[in-house]
């Protein structure tokens, strides 16, 4: 963490060097000493420090300076750093001005020049000032700060991206925090740039305006470009299945890369709580599971490209070649497709217009705290919906689960049904579906169709989270591999019809259990036709597939 700053200002360069020398001698171990030979330059430095979220402990200024005297400078600097201690350097003739400054301008102390010896005429007084400052000092957040508004889809996308990639950040809602003095000072310093939301401020003082996840990813060091052009195993998708395959593949010597479109963990990584995963009797969050898996994969040398997207694939002899969104290409001997599924779109008027502004697909863990005291709706009856409802119930005044069927029994695990039913502020609304959503800049109301009465009821709502089934995203594969009518990839026995090998199959053996109709291309997890939509099964498929990949590679 950067040390607090002691700022000195004097237009006489000899005096400035002397005070900086004495400050460093006594306080250099605990503080950073900075100086400026002009008050205007010092104010510019202070503004830069504020943008970087650095702390200033002491402002020490000479009284007699051209264009702006010391008292005036300290008054201006106090608007930027009101908690910093303030002191004047004065000559004997300026004593009355210094005393007036203490009485009228809130100056904490004044020092007569020359201050030699400093051990008697400088350090004891500064010790008192700095001790007093330390008593009330609370270290500021050290890291990325994101300025935006709650109902901005771009702000939500950016916060969700940072959270899922485990990048620490501080969220500042410029509307809700408009009356906070510290936020007001920051907004004043940023000036017109605040209109370019979301704004991301970095600890080094740089900032990104109207920030996009890809820009932030590059700045924080997330890897989006491959280190080499060829791998033994390329895995498209970084959910549980893909991460498991990467861990087992790399640990057994395969040069492995994962290409993940958003963030490692997939939909499971967005789950607020997974309680039936073997080995974790008290449960764990999807984010924790993803973080542990990523650390494990990197420990074995797996290269993870995220956020990065595969836009097409082709086959050239024994090589499977992937084209990425940045127009680069990489090739591999074995390709694993572990792209999972994405939430099915809710077809109701207003949903698309308000997406990211009260209407969300998936867990929305970044929004949970914002829902404090509000009424929110969860659409869907599977485990993901139940886990989200339990999480939101910790903050929201009331959580309403909308279910098309007559109960949760056929779609949700019993342990989760029991938890939902025991939570007093969760209400289950059966035979219900969303007919329309309403609101100008953000969600305000929902029209709910009750199928058993065929009536529509319009209810107030602050947020709505959608979990209504999922579909694979496999269009980028073109016609390379066989898929069912919904786009799920066929593998193993599903490819054999009347004992015949699939069309285009070139080897004198049946496809392996998790292999597609193209030798060396495998599919695991939710994207595979007939898969069991559970985290544990995805992990199992990812690990088992590696054994088939070894067998395939031994013949290449």
The DSSP code for 2 is P
Neighbouring-strand partners of residue 489? 483, 528
Question: Considering only CA atoms, which of 472, 491, 473 is closest in space to residue 481?
Answer: 491
359-361 sheet: strands from edge to edge:
359-361, 463-466, 375-379, 398-402, 426-429
Residue 103: partners with Cβ closer than 8 Å, 6 or more residues away? none
Residue 416's Cα: distance from chain center in Å?
27
Q: What mean pLDDT, rounded, does the chain reach? A: 92
32-36 sheet: strands from edge to edge:
32-36, 5-9, 56-62, 85-90, 109-112
313-360 pLDDT per residue, tens: 999 999 999 999 999 999 999 999 999 998 899 999 999 999 999 999
104 falls in which pLDDT band (50, 70, 90)? low
pLDDT value at residue 134:
93
CA distance linking residue 394 with residue 138, whole number of Å: 28
Say if CB 10 and CB 37 are below 8 A apart.
yes
- Write down the residue that tokens 């764990």 correspond to: 284
Say if CB 33 and CB 20 are below 8 A apart.
yes
Q: Is the pLDDT of residue 100 over 80?
A: no
pLDDT value at residue 179:
83
98 falls in which pLDDT band (50, 70, 90)? confident
Residue 177: partners with Cβ closer than 8 Å, 6 or more residues away? 183
Question: Considering only CA atoms, which of 161, 222, 152 is closest in space to residue 172?
Answer: 152
* Number of residues that make up the chain: 556
CA distance linking residue 304 with residue 478, whole number of Å: 24
The DSSP code for 330 is E
Question: Considering only CA atoms, which of 309, 338, 327 is closest in space to residue 233?
Answer: 338
**3-class secondary structure, 158:** helix
CA distance linking residue 294 with residue 289, whole number of Å: 9
CA distance linking residue 360 with residue 378, whole number of Å: 10
Residue 271: partners with Cβ closer than 8 Å, 6 or more residues away? 285, 286, 363, 384, 387, 388
pLDDT value at residue 359:
96
Question: Considering only CA atoms, which of 358, 351, 417 is closest in space to residue 382?
Answer: 417
Which one of 24-38, 206-220, 360-374, 490-504 scores highest in mean pLDDT? 24-38
- State yes or no: cis peptide before 151, omega within 30 of 0: no
Q: Is the pLDDT of residue 529 over 90?
A: yes
Domains in the chain: ranges and CATH? 5-136 (3.40.50.2300), 144-220 (3.40.30.10), 230-342+470-553 (3.50.50.60), 359-466 (3.50.50.60)
CA distance linking residue 97 with residue 90, whole number of Å: 9
The DSSP code for 526 is G
The DSSP code for 501 is P
pLDDT value at residue 542:
96
Q: Is the pLDDT of residue 152 over 80?
A: yes
CA distance linking residue 241 with residue 71, whole number of Å: 65
Residue 405's Cα: distance from chain center in Å?
35
Residue 532's Cα: distance from chain center in Å?
29
- Tokens representing 80 are 């930027």
Say if CB 310 and CB 264 are below 8 A apart.
no
- Tokens representing 397 are 């005044």
73-91 pLDDT per residue, tens: 999 999 999 999 999 988 8
Say if CB 496 and CB 502 are below 8 A apart.
yes
pTM (2 decimals)? 0.81
Q: Is the pLDDT of residue 416 over 70?
A: yes
Residue 306's Cα: distance from chain center in Å?
12
- Tokens representing 372 are 């404090």
CA-CA-CA-CA torsion for 444, 447, 448, 451, nearest 10 degrees? 180
CA distance linking residue 94 with residue 111, whole number of Å: 11
CA distance linking residue 86 with residue 8, whole number of Å: 10
Strands 329-337 and 521-523: parallel
CA distance linking residue 160 with residue 173, whole number of Å: 15
HEC per residue, 64-101: CCCCCCHHHHHHHHHHHCCCCEEEEEECHHHHHHHHHH
Q: Is the pLDDT of residue 430 over 70?
A: yes
Q: Is the pLDDT of residue 497 over 90?
A: no
| Mean pLDDT within 296-321 | 95
What share of the chain in percent tops pLDDT 70? 99
In order of 241, 264, 522, the CA distances from 544 in angstroms are 10, 20, 11
177-234 pLDDT per residue, tens: 878 888 999 999 999 988 889 999 999 889 999 988 888 998 988 999 999 999 999 9
pLDDT value at residue 21:
96
Give the CA diameter of the chain. 106
- Tokens representing 446 are 């929902």
Q: Is the pLDDT of residue 93 over 70?
A: no
- Write down the residue that tokens 């005291």 correspond to: 373
- State yes or no: cis peptide before 307, omega within 30 of 0: yes
């Amino acid at each position: 963490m950067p040390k607090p700053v002691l700022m000195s200002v004097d237009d006489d360069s000899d005096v400035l060097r002397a005070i900086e020398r004495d400050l460093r001698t006594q306080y250099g171990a605990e503080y950073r000493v900075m100086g400026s030979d002009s008050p205007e330059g010092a104010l510019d430095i202070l503004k830069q420090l504020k943008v970087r979220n650095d702390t200033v402990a002491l402002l020490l200024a000479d009284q007699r300076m051209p264009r702006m005297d010391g008292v005036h400078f300290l008054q201006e600097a106090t608007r930027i750093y009101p908690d910093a201690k303030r002191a004047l350097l004065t000559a004997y003739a300026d004593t009355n001005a210094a005393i007036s400054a203490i009485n009228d301008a809130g100056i904490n102390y004044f020092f007569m020049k020359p201050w030699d010896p400093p051990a008697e005429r400088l350090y004891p007084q500064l010790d008192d000032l700095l001790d007093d400052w330390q008593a009330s000092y609370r270290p500021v957040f050290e890291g990325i700060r994101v300025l935006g508004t709650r109902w901005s889809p771009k702000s939500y996308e950016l916060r969700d991206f940072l959270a899922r990639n485990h990048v620490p950040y501080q969220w500042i809602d410029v509307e809700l925090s408009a009356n906070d003095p510290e936020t007001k000072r920051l907004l004043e310093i940023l000036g017109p740039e605040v209109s370019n939301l979301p704004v991301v401020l970095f600890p080094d003082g740089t900032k990104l305006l109207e920030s996009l996840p890809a820009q932030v990813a590059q700045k924080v060091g997330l890897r989006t470009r491959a280190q080499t052009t060829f791998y033994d195993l390329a895995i498209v998708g970084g959910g549980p299945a893909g991460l498991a395959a990467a861990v087992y593949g790399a640990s057994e010597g395969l040069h492995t890369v994962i290409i993940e479109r958003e963030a490692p963990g997939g939909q499971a990584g967005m789950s607020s709580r997974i309680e039936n995963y073997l080995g974790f009797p008290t449960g764990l969050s999807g984010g924790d599971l993803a973080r542990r898996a990523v650390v494990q994969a990197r420990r074995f040398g797996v290269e993870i490209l995220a956020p990065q997207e595969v836009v097409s694939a082709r086959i050239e002899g024994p090589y499977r070649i992937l084209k990425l969104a940045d127009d680069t290409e990489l090739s591999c001997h074995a390709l694993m497709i572990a792209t999972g599924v994405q939430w099915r779109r809710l077809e109701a008027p207003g949903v698309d217009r308000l997406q990211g502004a009260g209407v969300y697909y998936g867990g929305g863990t970044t929004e949970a705290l914002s829902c404090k005291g509000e009424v929110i709706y969860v659409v869907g009856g599977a485990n993901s919906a139940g886990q989200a409802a339990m999480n939101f119930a910790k903050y929201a005044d009331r959580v309403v689960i909308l279910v098309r069927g007559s109960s949760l029994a056929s779609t949700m695990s019993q342990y989760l049904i029991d938890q939902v039913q025991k939570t007093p502020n969760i209400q289950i609304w059966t035979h219900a579906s969303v007919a329309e959503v309403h609101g100008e800049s953000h969600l305000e109301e929902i029209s709910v169709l009750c199928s058993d009465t065929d009536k529509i009821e319009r209810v107030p709502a602050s947020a709505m989270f959608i979990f209504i089934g999922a579909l694979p995203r496999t269009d980028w594969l073109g016609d390379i591999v066989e898929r069912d009518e919904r786009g799920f990839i066929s593998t193993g026995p599903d490819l054999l019809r009347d004992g015949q090998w699939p069309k285009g199959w070139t080897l004198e053996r049946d496809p392996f259990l998790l292999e597609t109709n193209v030798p060396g291309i495998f599919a695991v997890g939710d994207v595979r036709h007939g898969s069991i939509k559970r985290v544990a099964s995805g992990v199992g498929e990812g690990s088992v597939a590696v054994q088939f990949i070894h067998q395939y590679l031994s013949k290449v």
